[in-house]
Structure 1
Amino acid sequence: MENSMLKKTPFVRLVIAAMLGVGTSIAPLVLLSFGLSTFIVIRIVGQEHATAAFATATGISGIAVVIFGLFSGVIADKTRLKMGRRRFWMIAGSIGGALSMLALTYASSIPVFIIAICLVNFFYGMVSLSCYAIVPEQVEPEKFGRVSGLIGAAAPAFVMTGQMVMGAFAKSTLEEKMITIIIVQLIGGIVAALLIKDNYFAGVAKGEKKSIGIRGFYPSFKKHPSYTWALLTKLFINFSNAGMGMLTLFYIARFHLSETKIFQLMALTAPAIMLMVVAGILGGFLSDKVKKQKPFVMGAALVTGICLIAFAFSSNITWVIVGNFIFNFGFGMYGAVDNALVNRILPSKENAAKDISIMNTTTSLSSTLVNFAAPALIALGTSLFGGDGYTLFFLVLAVFSILSAVVVLPIPEMGSKLEANNDTTNEIVV
């Protein structure tokens, strides 16, 4: 299809649609990980067996999310419908996600819980993926930066709003909270689809098809060592961040908080998400200003490690609240500057999407591994230190934060001779 024949959505409408679609599809997944799914597991198996059941269920679903992440882009791109592939998946993903959320809400067994949460991740993931994909298809390259910034701020803003709403209605039932999320996302996803103009792609000629062999899938460490070091730093920091999903059980085990108190605490710490956004903007600006990235990435990783050590030995909920804010500041700065670093060291422009997708799997992979390992680590911590067992758990996460900082050292800094020899020229947003 020629560019002149492509339908384009007016810029403001497209930005509003993308922010609405991304925000309302990512927020439910984050809110589930912040406590809603934990209480569903507690309802199914009881509080005594919740830690093991929750870790197993989220670990299995995490593996599914990794697989979905590798193939969902192919599924979305191969969809051929007159209404447009992006609009279709915004609507189909919202409806499929709503039905999956209902199944999750009323799940009566762990297998049903696992299947439902896998489907929720797939369908809502397709909504956000379609919103991201519409940008390079319809927006001029010179506007990519501002659009990416606005869309990037949408998810934290919706998550923070969702946490505050959950806190304000903390005394409402779990089912009422879940149904509210379903309705808001369904409206947001459908409105986003109605706002955009989409295009029908009939496909490409056979001669244009390309295949990537297994040997060429992962960039050679010998030729592109910085790529592997960058992947490791991202993997290690994601290990640390994945452990934050255990905070709900940590609150129950160490501070004996009720469901109502936990949702009120979530509302209290919700502004930390906006602090993460501010830290990302600040870190990106300062790193560009001084033309240095590694000090910001390493420093931010170490800040998260210090916060996790504070969690390990905290005996007062106030320390946890303060640590939560500082952790989000460090993680926000790390994410923004590390993404810029990754953009700079990508092996090639031609395979940028493939290489970025490999990087992105570290989020789901780390979450899966942490959820599987958490019960064993907590049990070992109980036998070594006594108490609730979370001291060892958070200390191990702190070690991963430190490792994340250490593996940045071999990566060339901006403007170095090593970087000049491996210049990829074009910037790709992760």
Structure 2
Amino acid sequence: MWIGLLASAQVLVPSQIEVIDPARKEWALGVVTAAGALAAVISAPLVGILSDRTQWRFGKRRSWIVGGSALCVAALLALPMQSSIVGVALCWILVHGGVGGIHAVVCAVVADRVAVNRRGTVFGVVDLAQPVGLVAGTLLVSNLPVEAAYPLVAVLVGLFALPYALVGRDVPGAARDTGRWLPDLAALGPDFAWAWTGRFAAQLATSLATIYLLYFLRDEIRMDDPVQGVAVLSLLFTAGIVVAGLLAGRLSDRLQRRKPFVITAALLMAVALSGMALISNWTVAVIAAAVLGAGYGAYLAVDQALVTQLLRNGGDRGKDLGTMNMAGSGAVVLAPVIAVGSVGHGGYTLLFMLAAGMAVLSGLLIQPIKSVS
């Protein structure tokens, strides 16, 4: 799932858009990115709700993971055939919408099957799929034309979905039907609302930092091979996520504390983003990528565990975690709008400073949560 989404988002879609409309590449990329993220905002809670209520013998969660993967494969295969921004946007809506649904269901699987005192560790492992998918996908496509790269990642999405399709199993239980289909933050309580807004701010920070990474390396740092630069920074970002995510998740399980880890991770992200804002050179970018990855990895692992402890009704896990995932997708919708204006008025310095501010805010918003320490 992450190979298909992130390799395309970091390299393939920006490169394709630059060929289609080089004069308005930033604007066009922002529109396409926002459209895809909006699809994920809708699909995450919708697929979560449907998985809660599904009674097919194939599996209430597994059915939607397989279906979402098939949708992503079809859309990725169609992308290289597009010669207009509208065509790219329509395909990207299907890719990102499919990923939004899959991610909501995967989070629900963990909440279904893992005890509370092990969720930090397990989410630390599960969340490794995102950075590994980013790095593996970016390295695979960095030297390929889009005509060959899109089919490659599409095949990998389908191939790696097969193990879960064949052997994945769901926790037995009756399908849930409360009659409530719309996300309801008020019903989930103020702690869930604080966690939702914190997740939104954290994802907005990382989205602002990465949406124009290819263009930043090409236009600001003036790298001869910005695609290769994206691959290197992605590798360092991943290394930070892997190490910090596993360590923070496991330590938070042992201490049974969540909030201090999430707040510290947010501040670590802010330090990295501030460095990129103040000094625009390759050395700082390399260091910042590793530090940002460490902060983001720790945030992902522990915040996911924290959120599962806020759920009030186990039968609505798919819907509630889909609602939480709307925060991340919603931030991705807003990020291009902010990024276009920031780069246009204050350059990349303003863009990264705004990202740093969002990272600090994401930590502050976790502090009022009372039901989880």
Give your verdict on TM over 0.5.
Answer: yes
- The answer on whether the counterparts of 1:53 and 1:110 sit within 8 Å (CA) in structure 2 is yes
Using structure 1 for the length normalisation, give the TM-score.
0.75
Query: Aligned equivalents of 2:283 and 2:129: distance in 1?
Result: 28
Structure 2 counterpart of 1:66, from 41, 57, 60: 41
The DSSP-based 3-state class of the residue aligned with 1:372 is: helix
Distance 1:360 1:132, change over 3 A: closer
Aligned residue in 1 for 2:184: 217
- The answer on whether the counterparts of 2:266 and 2:299 sit within 8 Å (CA) in structure 1 is yes
- CA shift, 1:376, in A, is 1.3
- The residue identity in structure 2 corresponding to 1:121 is H
Equivalenced residue count is 371
- The answer on whether the counterparts of 2:214 and 2:226 sit within 8 Å (CA) in structure 1 is no
Identity %: 25
- CA shift, 1:323, in A, is 0.3
**1:371-416 CA distance string (max 9 Å, x none):** 12211121121xxxxxxx111111111111121222233233866x
Query: Aligned equivalents of 2:71 and 2:190: distance in 1?
Result: 41
Query: Aligned equivalents of 2:359 and 2:125: distance in 1?
Result: 28
Q: Is 1:153 paired with 2:111?
A: no
- The residue identity in structure 1 corresponding to 2:6 is V
Q: Is 1:116 paired with 2:116?
A: no
Aligned residue in 2 for 1:6: none
Q: Is 1:359 paired with 2:327?
A: no
Distance 1:333 1:94, change over 3 A: closer
- The residue identity in structure 2 corresponding to 1:160 is V
Aligned residue in 2 for 1:52: 27
Query: Aligned equivalents of 1:151 and 1:370: distance in 2?
Result: 25
Structure 2 counterpart of 1:187, from 151, 159, 166: 159
Aligned residue in 2 for 1:102: 77
- The answer on whether the counterparts of 1:26 and 1:125 sit within 8 Å (CA) in structure 2 is no
Query: Aligned equivalents of 1:195 and 1:141: distance in 2?
Result: 21
Distance 1:178 1:143, change over 3 A: farther
Give the gaps of 5 or more residues in structure 1: 1-24, 382-388, 416-430
Q: Is 1:337 paired with 2:302?
A: yes
- CA shift, 1:165, in A, is 2.7
Q: Within 5 Å, which residues of 2 pair with 1:236-275?
A: 236-243=201-208, 244-258=210-224, 260-267=225-232, 269-275=234-240
Aligned residue in 2 for 1:178: 150
- The residue identity in structure 2 corresponding to 1:370 is A
- The answer on whether the counterparts of 2:36 and 2:89 sit within 8 Å (CA) in structure 1 is yes
Structure 2 counterpart of 1:308, from 270, 273, 282: 273
Distance 1:407 1:77, change over 3 A: closer
Distance 1:233 1:266, change over 3 A: same
The DSSP-based 3-state class of the residue aligned with 1:365 is: helix
Structure 2 counterpart of 1:294, from 253, 256, 259: 259
Q: Which has the larger radius of gyration?
A: 1
- The answer on whether the counterparts of 2:82 and 2:88 sit within 8 Å (CA) in structure 1 is yes
Query: Aligned equivalents of 1:337 and 1:220: distance in 2?
Result: 23
Q: Within 5 Å, which residues of 2 pair with 1:27-42?
A: 27-42=3-18
Distance 1:245 1:290, change over 3 A: same
- CA shift, 1:197, in A, is 6.6
- The residue identity in structure 2 corresponding to 1:32 is S
- CA shift, 1:130, in A, is 5.9
Query: Aligned equivalents of 2:109 and 2:307: distance in 1?
Result: 23
- CA shift, 1:299, in A, is 2.0
- CA shift, 1:87, in A, is 5.7
Distance 1:116 1:200, change over 3 A: farther
- The answer on whether the counterparts of 2:60 and 2:170 sit within 8 Å (CA) in structure 1 is yes
Q: Within 5 Å, which residues of 2 pair with 1:380-391?
A: 380-381=345-346, 389-391=347-349
Q: Within 5 Å, which residues of 2 pair with 1:389-400?
A: 389-400=347-358
Aligned residue in 1 for 2:341: 376
The DSSP-based 3-state class of the residue aligned with 2:212 is: helix
- The residue identity in structure 2 corresponding to 1:403 is L
The DSSP-based 3-state class of the residue aligned with 1:270 is: helix
